[in-house]
Amino acid sequence: MQLESIAANVRMRSSWEAIDLGFAMVRAWWSIIYTPLALLLLGLITLFLLIIPYEYYWVTLILLWWLKPLYHRLILHIISHRLFGETISINDALKKLPQLIFKTGLFSELTWRRFSLSRGFRLPIWQLENLRGKARKRRQQILVGNVHSDAVWLTIAIFCFQIILTLSFFMLIWLFIPSHYSDDLLSRLFTNQLEGIGYSVEIIAVTGFVVVMVFLEPFYIGASFALYINRRTQLEAWDIELDFRKMSQRMQAADKKLAALPTVLLAVCLTFVLLDKPVNAETSITAGNKIELPDSFVADRRLPASEAKRIVDEVMESQGLSQEKKVMGWRYIDREEEIKEVPDRPQWLVSLAAFMAKIVEFSLWILIAAAIIALYVFRRYWLPLLERKPKSDSLERPDILFGMDVTTDSLPKDVLATALTLWQAGKARDALSLLYRSALVLLINREKLALKHSHTEGDILKLSRSELAATQQRYFQQLTKQWVQIAYAHQQPAETDMQYLLAHWESDFASDTTKPTVDAAP
C-alpha cells in the first residue's frame, strides 16, 4: 500500500464526511465500477434462467439478492485499486473473480454472516488485509470501535433506499397495466396467472429489481470503504505520515537545488584562510560535504530499540499522560459547564447492579413467554372477538345494476342449463350476462355485499375480495373479465374460457361448500 499515490485527500473526517467521500469516489469512477458489475449480473441472470424453470422466476430474484456479498467483493476490488492510483481494466477486474470467490471469506458471508449489518465495513479486513482467525477478530475490534453504529445505519439506509426505489419502479409500471389485470396483481405474479402480459410484467419486474440493486450497491461499498479508510487514518495517522512524506520530498528537491552549496562554502573557507580569519567552530565541513549539526541537538549515541521502548513507556506512564478519570452526568448539548465528578463506586456495588440488571432482563423475557402461552391457552375467549360479525339483513339491496335486473325472481330456476343453452345457440353475450347477473344476485343476497348503483364492475370485484374464498374470487375475476370484454369491447370469449366458466359455476362459485370453514376453539 503506497500512501503517496492515494487519489483522495486523506485527512481526519467525521463518519458522514467519510460516507460522502465514498459516494464521490463512485461518481468519479462509475464507468469502471458499473460495467464489470453489469456483466457479472448479466451472466448470473442468464445462468439462472437456463437452470430455473420459468414458473419459479421469483427464485432468481432471491438468488440475485442473496449473492450481494459477491458483487461487494468485485466493487471493493475496483475501488481500492483506483483509490491507491492503480489503473484497472474491465478484463482485469473480471479475471480476479475466482480469487475473490475462494480467498476472501465469501462462504461465511453467504451463510452465517449474511445478515450482519456491518459487513460492508468488515469486508476490507477479509479482502484487503487477508486476516483470519484471532488476528482478524482483534483487528476487527480495533477498527470497528466507535464507527460500528455508523456502519450499521449506513446498511439500513441503503436497504431502505432499495425498497423505496424498487416499489416506486413497480408503482410506475402499475400505472401502465390495464385495470382488469392490475386487480390482485401481486398474487397472480407469484402464481403465474398473468395471461397475455405475464412474460412482459415478469421481465420488467426482474429488470427493475436488478437495476435498483446494481445502482445502489457501489454506493454502499464505496461509503463503507471510505469509513474503513477514515478509521485507519484516525488510528494510524495517515494524514501526518503523508505530510511528512511530502516534507521529505520537498527537502530532497531542495537538496538537489543546493548541490553546489558545498563548493561555494569551500571557496569561502579558503578565502578566510588566505585572509587569516578563523572559521566559526560551531560548523565544519565533512568529507561527505554535509553540514554537521551542533552536539546540543543530537544525542551522543543512538539508543537500542529495547531501551528506546522502555523510555517511551516511562514517558507514557507519567502523570501528565496516563491520568484518566471517568465523568458521568447529564447536561444540555452545546452547553459548556463543569460536570461534577462522580466518585468511584465500590466494585461489589457495580457487580450487584449488573447482576440485578440481568435478573430484570430475564424476568422480562419470561413475562413475554408467559403472555404468549396465556394467549394460546385462553384463545377461546379472545378469538371470537376477531370474528367478523354477520351483516344485517336490513341492508339496502339494489334492484338494477348496469341496466340488469338483479332480483332473485328474475333468474331462471336452472341458471347453468340456461346459460349453456344460450352459449350453444351462439348467444355468448346473453350467456355471460346471465352468469354475471346471477353472480351479482349471490353477492347481494348470500354474501350481504352492500352494492350501489354507482359501483362499476371493477369496484364490485374489489369489494368482493374480503367476502369470497380464494376459489370463488378467482372464478368471479375471470367472469368479470369476460363480461367486460364482451360488454364494452365486443370481443367474443374463447371457447376454453367459456367452457371453464360453465364447468366451474357450481363447484367454484355458486356452491356454499367453496367457502372455508373455521373450527370452533375447544
Asked whether the predicted pLDDT for residue 518 surpasses 60, the reply is no
**Is residue 32 a contact partner of residue 82, using CB atoms and an 8 Å limit?**
yes
**Is residue 33 a contact partner of residue 110, using CB atoms and an 8 Å limit?**
no
Query: CA 433 to CA 394: how far, in whole Å?
Result: 27
Domain ranges of the chain: 3-243, 349-386, 400-514
Query: CA 116 to CA 62: how far, in whole Å?
Result: 18
Question: Cell numbers at residue 221, please?
Answer: 461499498
The pLDDT assigned to 267 comes to 65
Asked whether the predicted pLDDT for residue 323 surpasses 50, the reply is yes
The pLDDT assigned to 259 comes to 62
In degrees rounded to 5, what are phi and psi of residue 240? -70, -40
Does this model's pTM top 0.75? My answer is no
Confidence of residue 520 (pLDDT cuts 50, 70, 90): very low
The pLDDT assigned to 278 comes to 47
**pLDDT tens-digit series, residues 376-395:** 888 777 777 766 555 544 55
Q: How far is CA 101 from the centre of its chain?
A: 21
| Least confidently predicted of 46-50, 204-208, 285-289 | 285-289
**Is residue 39 a contact partner of residue 89, using CB atoms and an 8 Å limit?**
no
Query: CA 62 to CA 363: how far, in whole Å?
Result: 39
Query: CA 35 to CA 47: how far, in whole Å?
Result: 19
**Is residue 75 a contact partner of residue 37, using CB atoms and an 8 Å limit?**
yes
- Across the chain, what does the average pLDDT equal? 78
Confidence of residue 521 (pLDDT cuts 50, 70, 90): very low
In DSSP terms, 404 is beta-bridged to: 401
3-state secondary structure 67-89: CHHHHHHHHHHHHHHHHCCCCCC
Asked whether the predicted pLDDT for residue 215 surpasses 90, the reply is yes
**Is residue 461 a contact partner of residue 183, using CB atoms and an 8 Å limit?**
yes
Task: Give me the mean pLDDT over the 211-221 stretch.
Answer: 93
Instruction: Say what percent of the chain tops pLDDT 90.
Output: 14
Confidence of residue 270 (pLDDT cuts 50, 70, 90): low
Question: Cell numbers at residue 482, please?
Answer: 369476460
| Angle between helices 198-236 and 148-174 in degrees, nearest 10 | 160
Confidence of residue 165 (pLDDT cuts 50, 70, 90): very high
Task: Give me the mean pLDDT over the 166-174 stretch.
Answer: 84
| Least confidently predicted of 173-182, 190-199, 217-226, 282-291 | 282-291
Asked whether the predicted pLDDT for residue 450 surpasses 90, the reply is no
Question: Cell numbers at residue 65, please?
Answer: 439478492
Question: How many residues appear in the chain?
Answer: 522
Greater pLDDT, 248 or 272: 248
Query: CA 81 to CA 86: how far, in whole Å?
Result: 5
The pLDDT assigned to 422 comes to 87
The pLDDT assigned to 310 comes to 82
**Is residue 109 a contact partner of residue 210, using CB atoms and an 8 Å limit?**
no
